[in-house]
């Protein structure tokens, strides 16, 4: 471990950078990257399949002791120069703690669903910050699972960072095929609510959320496609008194999850 890597041609460093910038490479290798002490610790705590731990010399001195308490038998640790750490970092003030992590096997929507479960479906969300914030909020409010359909890549560094570690605690399933998604939900008798801003939708304040429930959130700019909203059991609206354009997708999702769970 005292062999300090300084070259960006090192194969682990090259892999890290590929995974950091390309969804295609992430899919191909089944790996994604983490940056930052807290999220790496969260991943270690949840036993989330870290294959490589990459520390700068400075980070090894500062955080080595606490990080090495985790079970690292299946993890290869490498130490890099502070300069190389700055090169692969996504922020100007990096802590010098990086990891490569296995993408967990997606067991599918059906295995996520349980009686009286509460779910949020992200349908076509494209902003990584919104997706991350929704996953983080779902974790806080005790939502039973997040389903992603046609949304941005869950394993992009921006989404991962925005989840603040909740990506390792939440149950998350991906299903890009709308037919398969609706059959899985219908089979488990999940009531589906499409979050819309249509005037004929039911105000969320008048909705009963008993039994198993899933709320669909649509794209930031365009909302849910009409055919998807129509396939849901009902359409719901957050009553707004001010400017209707002023509720962003993550905030709308947060308020709906709050109503689902409280």
By CB under 8 A, is residue 140 in contact with a copy of itself? yes
CA separation, residue 63 to residues 56, 131, 160, 168, 187 (Å):
10, 29, 21, 21, 48
Q: Please count the CA atoms within 13 angstroms of the CA of 220 that sit on its side-chain side.
A: 13
Instruction: Enumerate residues 230-249 that contact a copy of itself by CB under 8 A.
Output: 238-248
When the beta carbons of 27 and 140 are compared against a copy of itself, the nearer one is: 140
Helix pair 57-67, 37-45: axis angle to 10 deg: 30
Site membership for a copy of itself, residue 133 (CB under 8 A): yes
Residue 262, interface with a copy of itself (CB under 8 A)? yes
Binding of a copy of itself by 39 (CB under 8 A): no
Member of 5, 141, 174, 178 binding a copy of itself (CB under 8 A): 141
Element (H, E) at 217: strand 213-217
> Quick check: 221 binds a copy of itself (CB under 8 A)?
no
Residue 166 touching a copy of itself (CB under 8 A): yes
Stretch that binds a copy of itself, among 11-19, 77-85, 107-115, 159-167 (CB under 8 A): 159-167
Could you tell me the smallest distance in angstroms from the CB atom of residue 234 to a copy of itself? 19
Which of 107, 142, 183, 211 touches a copy of itself by CB under 8 A? 142
Q: How many other β-carbons are positioned within 10 Å of the β-carbon of residue 162?
A: 21
- The stretch near a copy of itself (CB under 8 A) out of 21-29, 91-99, 132-140, 218-226 is 132-140
In the complex, least distance from residue 46 CB atom to a copy of itself, rounded to whole angstroms: 11
Closer residue to a copy of itself, CB minimum distance, 37 or 141: 141
Under a CB-based contact definition with an 8 Å cutoff, are residues 261 and 229 in contact? Answer: no
Shortest distance (Å) from residue 148 CB to a copy of itself: 18
Which residue bears the tokens 């009531």? 191
Q: Does residue 202 belong to the site contacting a copy of itself (CB under 8 A)?
A: no
Q: Applying CB under 8 A, which of residues 20, 48, 94, 137 lies at the interface with a copy of itself?
A: 137
Name the minimum Å distance from CB 79 to a copy of itself. 29
Radius of gyration in angstroms for the set of CA atoms belonging to the chain, rounded to a whole number:
20
For a copy of itself, the binding residues in 73-102 under the rule CB under 8 A are: none
Angle (CA) 158 52 160, round 5°: 15
- Contact residues for a copy of itself, defined by CB under 8 A: 133, 136-143, 164-166, 169, 205, 238-248, 250-251, 254-255, 258, 261-262
């Amino acid at each position: 471990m005292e062999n300090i890597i300084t070259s960006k041609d090192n194969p682990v460093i090259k892999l890290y950078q590929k995974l950091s910038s390309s969804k295609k490479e992430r899919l191909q290798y089944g790996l994604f990257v983490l940056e930052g002490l807290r999220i790496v610790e969260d991943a270690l705590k949840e036993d989330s399949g870290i294959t490589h731990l990459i520390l700068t010399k400075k980070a090894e001195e500062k955080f080595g002791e606490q990080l090495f308490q985790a079970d690292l038998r299946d993890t290869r640790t490498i130490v890099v120069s502070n300069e190389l750490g700055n090169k692969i970092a996504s922020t100007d003030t990096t802590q010098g703690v990086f990891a490569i992590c296995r993408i967990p096997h997606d067991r599918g929507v059906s295995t996520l669903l349980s009686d009286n479960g509460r779910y949020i479906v992200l349908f076509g969300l494209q902003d990584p910050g919104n997706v991350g914030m929704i996953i983080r909020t779902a974790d806080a409010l005790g939502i039973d699972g997040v389903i992603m359909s046609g949304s941005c890549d869950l394993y992009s560094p921006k989404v991962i960072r925005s989840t603040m570690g909740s990506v390792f605690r939440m149950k998350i399933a991906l299903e890009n095929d709308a037919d398969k998604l609706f059959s899985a939900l219908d089979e488990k008798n999940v009531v589906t609510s499409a979050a819309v801003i249509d005037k004929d939708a039911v105000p969320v304040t008048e909705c009963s959320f008993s039994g198993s429930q899933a709320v669909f959130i649509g794209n930031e700019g365009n909302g849910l496609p009409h055919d998807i909203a129509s396939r849901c059991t009902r359409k719901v609206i957050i009553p707004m008194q001010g400017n209707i354009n002023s509720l962003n997708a993550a905030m709308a999702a947060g308020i709906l999850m709050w109503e689902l769970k409280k």
